């Protein structure tokens, strides 16, 4: 582990970009700029922005060919599978776009440890070895000690455990890593600070900088993998895509021992009435994915079941390295038939077996195990 001399974080780094006039820059690229970028080996941040611009749209097919080539070269003909496990939907945040929003009235639930074990058994039967556990933000209902207890149980069934929970302090990450957590997923949701304040009305999540620094804290604590992302639709696609890419590049550079991935979630319908959404069509989503791949050849790209089966099938060829399967966004959803509120609607209900078949058909080896947390033996 490298010694951290000063605790600088992405909060400092991002200030370098705040004065950039992205709206103006994005329309200034020409077809020649795009041709030049596509012929380069190492892309700069401005090259990345160029690929997100309207000028790059007519070049999507050519970009896609490069993206596929780079992905296969770096990751092989291989896609990893994982599934989310929702532990608790208690939440004290008021995030306008989320079904678990504190002001939405729903009957909340937190899994007992017995229920966690049953969910784990049910998921393990599918053969999956990688699990992503999720909670809402409530230190009262799902404190770190509860997460740790759950991790101890899950460790019996899975070789890799990632958490997508509220942001923690560095020493809390150290504690969970010792318990067997090896990955942290944390979405900034929206990198634009004004919009961030507008959609995160109350609760601890309204602290923009604390959330932005989360990957730094987890990395310093010794995590193996970090997955970041912007919830696409909360601001203009190119600026959110740009900042996500800059964030990933910063993490790769600052913590070279960490495997960095990006998720590309689009806002989905949910309980509540937030509708102030920038529409991101499939074409823009693809443009974003391809631009990431060319800018950051070694970064993982994760695709969740927020997207439809048809779209996911097509995106697999373009640079995806991790894909969820057999997903449910409901607490207890892997074992219970009970009708409960979901965090968001999922659009692809296919099982692990179905996804494996599909990947093989498309010429990709489905990988159910790609890490093994090894304790002292």
Partner 1 sequence: MKPLIIDNKEISNRLFIGTGKFSSKNIIPDVINSSGIQVITVALRRVDFDADDENILKHVPKHCILMPNTSGARNADEAVRIARLARATGCGNWIKIEVINDNKYLLPDNAETIKATRVLVEDGFVVLPYMSPDLMAARKLVEAGAAAIMPLGSPIGTNRGLKTKELVRILIEEIKLPIIVDAGIGKPSEAAEAMEMGASAVLVNTAIATASDPVKMAEAFSQAVKAGRTAFISGMPETSLTAGASSPLTGFLR
Class of residue 354 by CB neighbours under 10 A (exposed 0-12, middle 13-18, buried 19+): middle
Smallest gap from residue 209 Cβ to partner 1 (A): 26
Q: Spell out, one character per residue from 327 to 346, where the chain touches partner 1: x when CB under 8 A holds, - when not.
A: --------------------
What gap in Å lies between CA 145 and CA 138, rounded to an integer? Answer: 12
Binding of partner 1 at residue 363 (CB under 8 A)? yes
Neighbouring C-beta atoms of residue 151, cutoff 10 Å: 21
What gap in Å lies between CA 367 and CA 183, rounded to an integer? Answer: 17
Which residues, numbered 279-318, are part of the site for partner 1 (CB under 8 A)? 298
Binding of partner 1 at residue 68 (CB under 8 A)? no
What gap in Å lies between CA 9 and CA 265, rounded to an integer? Answer: 24
Smallest gap from residue 280 Cβ to partner 1 (A): 28
Binding of partner 1 at residue 367 (CB under 8 A)? yes
DSSP string, 305-327: TTS-HHHHHHHGGGT--EEE-S-
Among 170, 259, 307, 348, binds partner 1 (CB under 8 A): 259
What gap in Å lies between CA 293 and CA 300, rounded to an integer? Answer: 9
Smallest gap from residue 159 Cβ to partner 1 (A): 8
Question: Where does this chain touch partner 1 (CB under 8 A) — which range of 15-23, 59-67, 210-218, 254-262?
Answer: 254-262
What gap in Å lies between CA 353 and CA 126, rounded to an integer? Answer: 7
225-230 and 259-263: which strand pairing?
Answer: parallel
Among 110, 224, 284, 306, binds partner 1 (CB under 8 A): 224
Class of residue 360 by CB neighbours under 10 A (exposed 0-12, middle 13-18, buried 19+): exposed
Among 12, 35, 169, 257, binds partner 1 (CB under 8 A): 257
Binding of partner 1 at residue 153 (CB under 8 A)? no
Among 114, 256, 273, 275, binds partner 1 (CB under 8 A): 256
Binding of partner 1 at residue 156 (CB under 8 A)? no
Question: Where does this chain touch partner 1 (CB under 8 A) — which range of 239-247, 265-273, 324-332, 356-364?
Answer: 356-364
Among 67, 102, 223, 260, binds partner 1 (CB under 8 A): 260
Among 108, 129, 211, 293, binds partner 1 (CB under 8 A): 129
Of 50 and 251, CB closest to partner 1:
251
Smallest gap from residue 257 Cβ to partner 1 (A): 4
What gap in Å lies between CA 127 and CA 178, rounded to an integer? Answer: 25
- Both structure tokens of 244: 């996500």
| 248, 280 Cβ separation under 8 angstroms | no
Binding of partner 1 at residue 96 (CB under 8 A)? no
Among 75, 90, 146, 238, binds partner 1 (CB under 8 A): 75
- How many residues interact with partner 1 (rule CB under 8 A)? 34
What gap in Å lies between CA 369 and CA 341, rounded to an integer? Answer: 30
Which residues, numbered 170-189, are part of the site for partner 1 (CB under 8 A)? none
């Amino acid at each position: 582990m490298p010694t951290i001399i000063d605790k600088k974080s992405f909060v400092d780094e991002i200030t370098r970009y705040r004065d950039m006039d992205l709206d103006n820059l994005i329309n200034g690229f020409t077809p020649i700029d795009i041709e030049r970028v596509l012929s380069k080996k190492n892309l700069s941040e401005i090259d990345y922005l160029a690929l997100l611009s309207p000028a790059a749209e007519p070049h999507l097919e050519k970009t896609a060919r490069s993206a596929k080539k780079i992905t296969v070269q770096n990751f092989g003909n291989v896609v990893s599978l994982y599934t989310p496990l929702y532990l608790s939907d208690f939440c004290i945040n008021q995030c306008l776009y989320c079904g678990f929003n504190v002001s939405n009235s729903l009957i909340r639930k937190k899994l007992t440890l017995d229920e966690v074990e049953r969910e784990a058994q049910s998921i393990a039967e599918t053969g999956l070895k990688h699990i992503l556990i999720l909670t809402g933000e409530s230190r009262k209902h799902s404190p770190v000690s509860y997460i740790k207890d759950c991790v101890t149980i899950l460790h019996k069934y899975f070789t890799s455990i990632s958490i997508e929970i509220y942001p923690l302090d560095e020493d809390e990450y150290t504690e969970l890593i010792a318990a067997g957590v090896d990955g942290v997923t944390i979405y900034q949701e929206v990198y634009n600070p004004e919009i961030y304040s507008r959609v995160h009305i109350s609760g601890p999540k309204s602290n923009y900088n604390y959330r932005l620094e989360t990957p730094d804290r987890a990395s310093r604590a010794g995590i193996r993998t970090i997955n970041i992302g912007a919830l696409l639709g909360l601001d203009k696609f190119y600026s959110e895509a740009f900042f996500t890419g800059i964030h990933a590049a910063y993490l790769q550079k600052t913590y070279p021992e960490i495997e960095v991935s990006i998720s590309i979630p689009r806002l989905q319908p949910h309980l509540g009435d937030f509708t102030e959404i920038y529409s991101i069509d499939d074409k823009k989503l693809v443009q974003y994915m391809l631009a990431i791949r060319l800018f950051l050849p070694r970064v993982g790209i994760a695709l969740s079941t927020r997207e439809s089966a048809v779209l996911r099938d097509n995106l697999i060829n373009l640079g995806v390295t991790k894909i969820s399967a057999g997903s449910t966004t409901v607490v207890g959803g892997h074992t219970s038939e009970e009708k409960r509120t979901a965090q968001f609607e999922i659009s692809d209900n296919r099982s692990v077996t179905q996804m494996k078949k599909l990947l093989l058909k498309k010429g990709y080896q489905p990988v159910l195990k790609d890490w093994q947390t090894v304790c002292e033996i």
